[in-house]
């Protein structure tokens, strides 16, 4: 049986909250004070939405690789069925819900709110956009629910992940890091030679994001020696490691300096450079989460862990709830009250979706691949 790390659920939940808070932040027009606090200052971690997506990719690589690292590689067709049920069924439910909420509540441009907010839900959804949403693996950006861009990469990489693991289990740590770096370098070379645009969901970007999955897979492969190393650190060194992880995760952005020195520096190159540092910070948090006593105990708090359990549903539903609340209540209530209502509504919607859609989808994937039957047989055998 594969080991389950409840702490990783909690970390995923905290990252999903950061995405939610980052989108609340983007609703408002910024000013020098809010930029100082939320983009460069002490509150940066609370709105680190793009960093959270990098964290999701690294964490997916960790979790998906566990069966392969333990020598229990699943049959590819079973793996794909379970992965599609896990990702696609809740996604489609969220897509249909967002489609209905947009039709009911969208009220047009709202003066005083940000251009980012007013751009969302503003475009009609034609047959091509609906097709792209249903297929999920195309190169498109969603005006309906813009978190879809990360799911496009998640689905693509998931489909080839067993092949990546076939190679990784035969590599040592240095070779694995080199493999991931080669994927990123290859994607940059392709972007340079082809002059490809970068809107977020291009295929060459998926090649780079696959490298982040590899980071997570290497953490899983070498988790035991890494845990032993972290547990051997004293409190001061553990604190120092935590601070290094934090700096890498949210503050280490060399591309900002390069962009200032070389105006017009390709945004794709900037993204690749920054996400590698973010992934390093994410790796620190993951290993601390499953190794450090105080941090691990915090992550096992029931409410934190529950947010982790519903994190995928929260990620899928929060924008639709937020936008609906703003379009419905903006003329009636102040924005701070609307945001509180949206937060409460998001947690309610996430809980409902988790219990009514997400968990049944997981059970369906297990039933279709016979995993539920195998588990029942194992339980009966252990009782007898």
Cα–Cα distance measured from residue 52 to residue 150, given in angstroms and rounded to the nearest whole number? 11
Cβ neighbourhood burial of 316 (10 Å; 0-12, 13-18, 19+): buried
pLDDT in tens, 161-189: 999 999 999 999 999 999 999 999 999 99
pLDDT for residue 372:
55
Alpha helices for the chain (secondary structure H)? 6-27, 32-38, 49-69, 76-105, 115-119, 127-135, 148-168, 173-194, 203-221, 223-231, 235-246, 254-261, 267-289, 293-299, 302-309, 311-329, 335-353, 359-368, 371-383
pLDDT for residue 257:
81
Cα–Cα distance measured from residue 198 to residue 173, given in angstroms and rounded to the nearest whole number? 31
pLDDT in tens, 360-383: 999 999 999 986 555 544 444 444
pLDDT in tens, 236-267: 999 999 999 999 999 988 887 887 777 778 88
* Mean pLDDT over each residue of the chain, to the nearest integer: 92
Q: Which among 101, 89, 103, 120 has a CA at the least distance from the CA of 345?
A: 101
pLDDT in tens, 333-363: 999 999 999 999 999 999 999 999 999 999 9
User: How would you label 37-56 residue by residue, b for 16+ Cβ within 10 Å and e otherwise?
Assistant: ebeeeeebbbbbbbbbbbbb
pLDDT in tens, 100-145: 999 999 999 999 999 999 999 998 888 888 998 999 888 888 899 9
Cα–Cα distance measured from residue 80 to residue 213, given in angstroms and rounded to the nearest whole number? 17
- List residues bridging with 28 in a β-sheet: 113
């Amino acid at each position: 049986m594969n080991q389950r790390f409840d702490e990783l659920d909690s970390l995923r939940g905290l990252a999903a909250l950061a995405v939610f808070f980052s989108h609340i932040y983007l609703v408002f027009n910024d000013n020098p004070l809010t930029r100082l606090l939320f983009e460069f200052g002490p509150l940066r971690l609370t709105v680190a939405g793009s960093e959270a997506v990098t964290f999701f990719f690294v964490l997916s690589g960790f979790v998906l690789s566990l069966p392969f690292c333990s020598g229990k590689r699943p049959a590819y067709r079973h793996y794909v069925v379970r992965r599609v049920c896990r990702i696609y069924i809740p996604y489609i439910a969220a897509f249909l819900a967002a489609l209905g909420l947009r039709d009911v509540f969208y009220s047009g441009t709202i003066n005083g709110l940000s251009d980012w907010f007013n751009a969302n839900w503003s475009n009609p959804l034609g047959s091509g956009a609906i097709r792209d949403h249903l297929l999920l693996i195309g190169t498109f950006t969603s005006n309906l629910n813009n978190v879809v861009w990360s799911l496009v990469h998640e689905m693509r990489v998931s489909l080839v992940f067993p092949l990546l693991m076939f190679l990784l289990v035969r590599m040592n740590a240095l070779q694995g890091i080199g493999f991931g770096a080669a994927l990123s370098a290859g994607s940059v070379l392709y972007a340079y030679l082809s002059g490809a645009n970068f809107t977020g969901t291009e295929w060459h970007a998926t090649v780079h994001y696959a490298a982040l999955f590899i980071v997570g897979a290497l953490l899983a492969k070498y988790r035991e020696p890494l845990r032993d190393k972290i547990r051997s650190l004293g409190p001061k060194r553990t604190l120092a490691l935590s601070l290094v992880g934090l700096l890498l995760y949210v503050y280490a952005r060399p591309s900002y300096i390069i962009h200032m020195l070389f105006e017009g520096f390709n945004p794709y190159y900037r993204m690749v450079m920054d996400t590698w540092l973010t992934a390093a910070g994410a790796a620190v948090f993951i290993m601390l989460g499953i190794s450090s006593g105080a941090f691990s105990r915090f992550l096992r708090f029931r409410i934190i862990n529950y947010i982790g359990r519903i994190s995928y549903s929260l990620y899928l539903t929060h924008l639709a709830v937020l936008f609906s609340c703003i379009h419905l209540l903006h003329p009636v209530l102040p924005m701070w009250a609307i945001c509180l209502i949206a937060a409460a509504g998001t947690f309610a919607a996430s809980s409902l979706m988790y219990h009514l859609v997400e968990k049944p989808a997981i059970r369906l994937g297990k039933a279709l691949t016979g995993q539920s039957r195998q588990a029942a047989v194992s339980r009966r055998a252990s009782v007898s």
